[in-house]
């Protein structure tokens, strides 16, 4: 990567990407899916640190230093079962028509004991971000992997073992 790309990436990293970088320093190198990846700044950082990264988005970014694979969160993901150690869905779930679908698909492409790291922006309060985050776990997905949720103001992060919850809990928003 040339110096201009490195500077552009370094100057464009926002709070959530920084938080992920700190978290991932503690995890072993593995195969990563970044979906939706946008321009690819998180993918770039992970690749520079030795992760085997697949960057996926519905949009093409010809000026990105990262090669992208076309994918749509609302369709079957273009990957084989049990392919990735980590999957990132940063500010992506809100673009899905069906949260059940994306959880099932991430579960399908993750290896057993894989990790899904996701964030959802908080649009409900523009003046002051919410200090807590509802943990929503789709019961039908049957996911037993680890999920790391980053709350909208990045004051904390949680690692929880995903377990089945009642459908009504999912519809209300499951809180831990």
Instruction: Write the pLDDT tens digit of every residue in 107-161.
Output: 999 999 899 888 877 655 444 344 333 334 343 444 444 444 443 333 333 333 3
Task: Give the per-residue pLDDT at 6.
Answer: 47
Residue 104 or 21, more confident: 104
The listed CATH number (3.40.50.150, 3.40.50.720, 3.40.47.10, 3.40.50.300) that belongs to domain 3-172 = 3.40.50.150
Residue 137, token pair as written in the block: 């776990």
Q: Which residues contact 31 (CB under 8 A, 6 or more apart)?
A: 51, 52, 54, 83, 84, 85, 86
Which residues, in sequence order, are CB contacts of 157 under 8 Å at separation 6+? 19, 23, 148, 149, 150, 151
Where in the chain are the domains?
3-172
Can you tell me the distance from the alpha carbon of 122 to that of 117, in angstroms, rounded to the nearest whole number? 16
116 Cβ neighbours under 8 A, 6+ residues apart: 86, 87, 89, 106, 107, 110, 143, 145, 146, 147, 148
**Full-model pTM:** 0.66
């Amino acid at each position: 990567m040339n110096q201009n790309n490195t500077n552009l990436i370094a100057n464009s990293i926002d709070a959530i990407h920084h938080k992920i970088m700190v978290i991932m320093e503690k995890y072993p190198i593995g195969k990563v899916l970044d979906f939706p990846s946008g321009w690819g700044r998180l993918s770039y950082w992970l690749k520079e640190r030795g992760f085997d990264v697949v960057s996926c988005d519905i949009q093409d970014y010809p000026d990105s230093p990262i090669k992208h694979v076309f994918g749509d969160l609302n369709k079957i993901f273009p990957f084989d079962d049990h392919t990735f150690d980590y999957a990132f869905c940063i500010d992506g779930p809100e673009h899905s028509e069906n949260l059940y679908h994306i959880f099932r698909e991430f579960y399908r492409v993750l290896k057993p004991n894989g990790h899904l790291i996701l964030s959802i922006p908080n649009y409900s309060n523009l003046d002051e971000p919410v200090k807590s985050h509802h943990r929503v776990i789709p019961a039908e997905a049957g996911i037993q992997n680890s999920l790391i949720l980053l709350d909208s103001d990045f004051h904390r992060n949680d690692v929880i073992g995903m377990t089945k919850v009642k459908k009504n809990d999912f519809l209300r928003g499951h809180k831990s």
